[in-house]
Chains A and B, each alone.
Chain A
Amino acid sequence: MLAFTVRRLLLAILTIWVISVLAFAIIQLPPGDFVTAYIAQLSASGASVSEAEAVSLRELYGLGQPFYVQYAKWIVRVIAGDFGVSMEWNRPVGEVIGDRLWLTMLISFAALILIWGLALPIGIYSAVRQYSIGDYLFTLIGFIGLAVPNFLLALVVMYLSFRFFGANVGGLFSSEYELAGWSWDKVVDLIKHLPLPAIILALGGTAQLIRIMRANLLDELRRPYVVTARAKGIPEYRVILKYPVRAALNPFASTVAYLFPYLVSGSVIISIVLSLPTVGPLLVRSLISQDMFLAGTIVLLLGALTVVGTFISDLVLMWVDPRIRHQLD
């Protein structure tokens, strides 16, 4: 069990490292160097930068030195919490991102909970009542959920609500709370706005998970231990819930590990359509305007948080699976 944890932890750290290299590559990719662009940006806004300042900036970022030196300098600053400066906003990147990162995670997490809550009972129903009308119905809905990319769904929901209710359903806050500091009322407001983006984000994943749960359970329902349980004379519903469902739950739970990155990815796109104050719109804007420190930082932080989330879900999974728990002996 310890070995398992350590292995997972090492893998998570390795993954975060790979992400950080990729993130830095993204920062480095655009032609020209950052300091020149930054100075040009500053002079355009009226401030002037002396030659000495420019030299010290170049020194700070290790420009002109090999990639790995620049990377090392950058990662050391990142670990210290200094993500660099956003050119477009002329403010430290950390400040620009602000609450947006947590809101991204919040939406993804809400969608995850929703997916679980929906896919589990529907998957069980569909497997136990295989080929029933309900099964076909859910399969159909599931296929639609699978086929409609969530940004399209967001577009359609936007259009319909605009058309029939005349309301813009975008955003996560009512206008009066948008710029206000955090308060209890703001949290309540957020909770009110959360369901719609969460549902839109959850649909595709729910469809996928229903299929996984259904297939796993169908598989487990044919196992000998189910016959054993039946032969004991236990009522059918208890046989199913206690044995095959428990077994099917495991691969189901492990799907969280890849569902979470997928949700974070998805949230980036639907945020743009629904103009949610997450990192999504910020990322797209920074990428288009080549505000690379902002873009790179967002990629890094999103990636790192996703990996941490996956790691935690792995640990939970390990705790609930006796086979992994007892790997010690």
Chain B
Amino acid sequence: MVEPRAPGSPILSVRDLKTYFQLDEGIVRAVDGVSFDVQAGRTLGIVGESGCGKSITARSILGIVDKPGRIVGGEIWLRRGADQPVDLATLPANSAAMRAVRGKEIALIFQEPMASFSHYYTVGNQIIEAIREHSDATPRQARDRAIALLDTVGVPQPERRIDEYPFQLSGGLRQRVMIAMALACDPRVLIADEPTTALDVTTQAQILDLLRGLQQQRGLALILITHDMGVIAEMADDVVVMYLGRAVEKGKVDAIFHAPRHPYTRALLRSIPSIMAAPRTKLATLGGSIPHPFNRPAGCPFHPRCDAFMTGVCDRAVPAALAGPDGSEVSCFLYGERP
């Protein structure tokens, strides 16, 4: 495990981010008041079940939420060196200023390397495009740089692979190319959205190793989005647990794993298979499933599935975030004041 560096001032600060989707059926609050900080050289893990708003959070940061989604509130502060920090939430999605951030300052790695590449262009074409967008490199220089990048991420025979089409590569190789493309312009923040979900287990480990190595070399701030507590345990320094668009618990990775406070976090941890468990015991599962966004329960959104549900409390009001030791936070009536 990487030794976490001393926390400095964060590169990226998200404050009370709200991204809503205005649909005919009603408003979906995909992200509903999420805050977190990301620091250079550290990894922030965002964990939660599918549909909890993790990916939308990542896209909101880059200003590429699909319509009819829209950032309706909150701030996204990006600090660049000595310059004044800039609030990305206020930049128009297609402005030159926002585009200069995308790929250049903050890069994104996607879940499905197959679907995330266009199959009509070679991988080289798609990497070189990113390089040339943010620099004055000549086609020759850009190509050399792309080959070097492919080499860095461990693609064998990069001179040959650069001219291949994505469908000619294996899944693991595709994900490596995806990482090379994300690194094309030396970003300082890298958001990896379920980077290993679509891969087999051995490849998963290799890709995670690669990401960790790159982070150490380049001092990247890494946001790792996953539903896999195992990946979090292995990679993250800080953790945000999300449920239905809200951060229900935040804290250092050790605290989250050793002293989870929110019932949802505890339930998630119980559902990890362990080799320590007695054979043939049933793996704990989380009862029910995430309610449909239109069907958001009143009060604490987790209360219908919560084993610590308190009638008349949890279904009445939404618990506020309660600060705990070492920068941790939890939103649950078990700890704070009750209505």
Q: Do A and B come from one complex?
A: yes
Residues of A in contact with B (beta carbons under 8 Å apart) = 222-225, 227-236, 242-243, 246-247, 321-323, 326, 329
A233 and B103 in contact, given A225-B115, A225-B118, A247-B118 (Cβ under 8 angstroms): yes
CA distance A228 to B113 in the complex (A): 10
Does A233 lie within 8 Å of B104, measured CB to CB?
Answer: yes
Q: How far does the Cβ of B81 sit from chain A's closest Cβ, in whole Å?
A: 19
Please, which residue of chain B has its CB at the minimum distance from the CB of A225?
B118
A329 and B168 in contact, given A224-B112, A224-B115, A231-B107 (Cβ under 8 angstroms): yes
Interface size on B, residues (CB 8 A): 34
Does A322 lie within 8 Å of B120, measured CB to CB?
Answer: yes
- Report B70-106 CB contacts with A as 1/0, cut-off 8 Å: 0000000000000000000000001000011111100
- Report B55-78 CB contacts with A as 1/0, cut-off 8 Å: 000010010101000000000000
Is B134 engaged at the interface, CB distance under 8 Å to the other chain? yes
A230 and B119 in contact, given A236-B94, A323-B167 (Cβ under 8 angstroms): no
Q: How far does the Cβ of A283 sit from chain B's closest Cβ, in whole Å?
A: 42
Is B116 engaged at the interface, CB distance under 8 Å to the other chain? yes
Complex contacts, B111 vs chain A, CB 8 Å: 224
A228 and B110 in contact, given A234-B129, A326-B165 (Cβ under 8 angstroms): yes
Does A231 lie within 8 Å of B64, measured CB to CB?
Answer: yes
Does B118 lie within 8 Å of A246, measured CB to CB?
Answer: yes
Complex contacts, A223 vs chain B, CB 8 Å: 115
Is B130 engaged at the interface, CB distance under 8 Å to the other chain? yes
Give the residues from 116 to 162 in chain B that come closer than 8 angstroms, CB to CB, to chain A: 116-121, 126, 129-130, 133-134
Select which of B121, B130, B168 is within 8 A of A232 by beta carbon.
B130
Does A224 lie within 8 Å of B110, measured CB to CB?
Answer: yes
Complex contacts, B64 vs chain A, CB 8 Å: 227, 230-231
Q: How far does the Cβ of A16 sit from chain B's closest Cβ, in whole Å?
A: 32
Complex contacts, B181 vs chain A, CB 8 Å: 228, 232
Select which of A225, A230, A242, A322 is within 8 A of B102 by beta carbon.
A230
Is B44 engaged at the interface, CB distance under 8 Å to the other chain? no
CA distance A268 to B101 in the complex (A): 58
CA distance A191 to B62 in the complex (A): 53
Complex contacts, A233 vs chain B, CB 8 Å: 99-104, 130, 133-134
Is B108 engaged at the interface, CB distance under 8 Å to the other chain? yes
Select which of B94, B120, B130 is within 8 A of A246 by beta carbon.
B120
Does A234 lie within 8 Å of B118, measured CB to CB?
Answer: no
Does B94 lie within 8 Å of A232, measured CB to CB?
Answer: no
Does A231 lie within 8 Å of B66, measured CB to CB?
Answer: no
Query: What are 24 A-B interface contacts by the 8 Å CB criterion?
Result: A222-B66, A228-B110, A228-B116, A228-B117, A228-B178, A229-B118, A230-B62, A231-B62, A231-B103, A232-B102, A232-B103, A232-B181, A232-B184, A233-B103, A233-B133, A233-B134, A234-B99, A234-B133, A242-B129, A246-B120, A247-B118, A323-B119, A323-B167, A326-B167
Please, which residue of chain A has its CB at the minimum distance from the CB of B125?
A242
Complex contacts, A229 vs chain B, CB 8 Å: 118
The 6 closest A-B pairs by CB, nearest first: A233-B102, A233-B103, A232-B103, A233-B99, A231-B108, A232-B130
Please, which residue of chain B has its CB at the minimum distance from the CB of A231?
B108
CA distance A26 to B133 in the complex (A): 63
- Report B165-176 CB contacts with A as 1/0, cut-off 8 Å: 101100000000
Please, which residue of chain B has its CB at the minimum distance from the CB of A229?
B118
CA distance A109 to B112 in the complex (A): 42
Complex contacts, A224 vs chain B, CB 8 Å: 110-112, 115-116
Beyond A243-B120, A326-B165: 16 further Cβ-contacts under 8 Å? A225-B115, A225-B116, A225-B117, A227-B59, A227-B64, A232-B129, A232-B130, A233-B103, A233-B104, A233-B133, A234-B133, A246-B118, A322-B165, A323-B119, A323-B167, A329-B168
CA distance A234 to B110 in the complex (A): 17
Please, which residue of chain B has its CB at the minimum distance from the CB of A329?
B168
CA distance A228 to B64 in the complex (A): 10
Complex contacts, B112 vs chain A, CB 8 Å: 224
